[in-house]
């Protein structure tokens, strides 16, 4: 199988992707996953999968145009920004477009959006965007509400490198994409945007691609209207003292604490509890008090979900695509 890889500067990556889109159909693009939980996986994407994703995105958003690249271009979200822009007939911009009178788009992770809303110049630019796709991790409802109150149109996306990027927009799959919830609440996805496998790892490919479905590592639920709610990764479920604790739900509660600016929650091996719930927090001023944060979580959730350890940090360590660096966090516990 012939493959193409991304390397070099932004201009190099754009040139590589342009050549790939215009080249033969049998060449696969190699895109690495974020590696947020360990070693990155090398995902093989066909041109037809990327083109199907771009076309479905355009139909869902109701327009095409230039895309602004403010994400690393080697990750799938950045790859899609470049490809969507090129397929629409426009080179992507590095930063905001000069001509903001025509439809333009961008993709961000929540941390980026939070910071950009605090910048008057960036906020003014985002107000002129047709759509801001927001993905790459849990989205605080307060952040989205703030953006929309400022006149920024936000669409929450869910997907991965294995699905050629976001394939579920605001809980609803793109045209042609099917979503199901299997055993243990595991989210499964099928459709024309799926990857062809993992390079050099046929065993993992066979484990994750089953009968035309990609078995994700995420837990979720579907409501009566077919709207998907992602509850977090399967391995985000911390079993502490025999109790199942959904770490993303605890982290979301902590982020609403007035004394914190950010938080992540993980399970760490513990001889007494099996796993203990550890909160990694960024205090707004002074240090975070464990008892107070436990009480804060217990006001909304079962007290058994409350963290048993708090690690105060100046900021949450993140990977290049904005996702929390889970390996680094566990090392800090």
Q: How far apart are CA 115 and CA 71, in angstroms?
A: 14
The per-residue b/e assignment along 226-250, b for 16 or more CB within 10 angstroms, e otherwise, is eebebbbbbebbbebeeeebbbbbb
The CATH classification of domain 241-332, taken from the options 3.20.20.70, 3.40.50.360, 3.30.300.30, 3.30.70.260 = 3.30.300.30
Region class of 65: left (phi > 0), else alpha (psi between -120 and 50), else beta: left
Q: How far apart are CA 250 and CA 246, in angstroms?
A: 7
Q: How much is the average pLDDT of 214-218?
A: 93
Q: How far apart are CA 118 and CA 112, in angstroms?
A: 10
Summarize pLDDT for 61-107 with one digit per residue, the tens: 999 999 999 998 988 999 999 999 999 999 999 999 998 989 999 99
Strand, coil or helix: 120: helix
Q: How far apart are CA 196 and CA 279, in angstroms?
A: 37
Q: How far apart are CA 36 and CA 117, in angstroms?
A: 26
* Domain limits, the chain: 2-231, 241-332
CATH for 2-231 is 3.40.50.12780
Same fold, 2-231 and 241-332: no
Summarize pLDDT for 32-44 with one digit per residue, the tens: 987 655 578 999 9
**Between the ranges 204-208, 234-238, 281-285, where is the mean pLDDT highest?**
204-208
Is residue 322 scored above 90 in pLDDT?
no
The pLDDT value recorded for residue 319 is 85
Summarize pLDDT for 107-148 with one digit per residue, the tens: 999 889 999 999 999 999 999 999 999 998 778 888 999 999
């Amino acid at each position: 199988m012939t493959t193409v890889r991304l390397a070099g500067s932004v201009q190099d990556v754009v040139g590589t992707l342009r050549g790939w889109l215009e080249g033969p159909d049998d060449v696969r693009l190699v895109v690495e996953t974020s590696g947020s939980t360990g070693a990155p996986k090398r995902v093989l994407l066909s041109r037809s999968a990327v083109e199907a994703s771009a076309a479905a995105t355009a139909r869902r958003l109701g327009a095409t145009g230039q895309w602004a690249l403010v994400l690393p271009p080697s990750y799938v979200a950045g790859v899609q920004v470049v490809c969507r822009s090129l397929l629409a007939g426009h080179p992507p911009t590095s930063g905001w477009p000069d001509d903001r009178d025509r439809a333009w788009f961008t993709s961000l992770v929540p941390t980026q959006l939070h910071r950009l809303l605090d910048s008057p110049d960036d906020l003014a630019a985002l107000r002129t965007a047709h759509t801001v796709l927001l993905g790459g991790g849990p989205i605080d409802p307060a952040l989205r509400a703030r953006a929309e109150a400022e006149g920024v149109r936000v669409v929450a996306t869910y997907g991965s490198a294995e699905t050629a990027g976001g394939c579920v927009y605001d809980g609803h799959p793109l045209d042609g994409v099917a979503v199901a919830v299997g055993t243990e609440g595991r989210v499964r996805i099928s459709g024309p945007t799926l990857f062809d496998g993992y390079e050099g790892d046929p065993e993992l490919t066979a484990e994750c691609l089953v009968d035309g479905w990609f078995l994700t590592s995420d837990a979720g639920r579907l409501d009566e209207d077919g709207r998907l709610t992602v509850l977090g990764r399967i391995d985000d479920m911390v079993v502490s003292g025999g109790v199942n604790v959904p770490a993303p739900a605890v982290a979301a509660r902590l982020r609403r604490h007035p004394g914190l600016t950010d938080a992540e929650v993980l399970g760490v091996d513990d001889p007494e509890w099996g796993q203990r719930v550890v909160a990694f927090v960024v205090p707004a001023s002074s240090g975070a008090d464990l008892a107070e944060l436990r009480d804060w979580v217990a006001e909304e959730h079962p007290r058994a979900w409350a963290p048993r350890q708090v690690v105060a940090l100046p900021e949450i360590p993140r990977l290049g695509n904005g996702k929390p660096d889970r390996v680094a966090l566990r090392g800090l516990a």
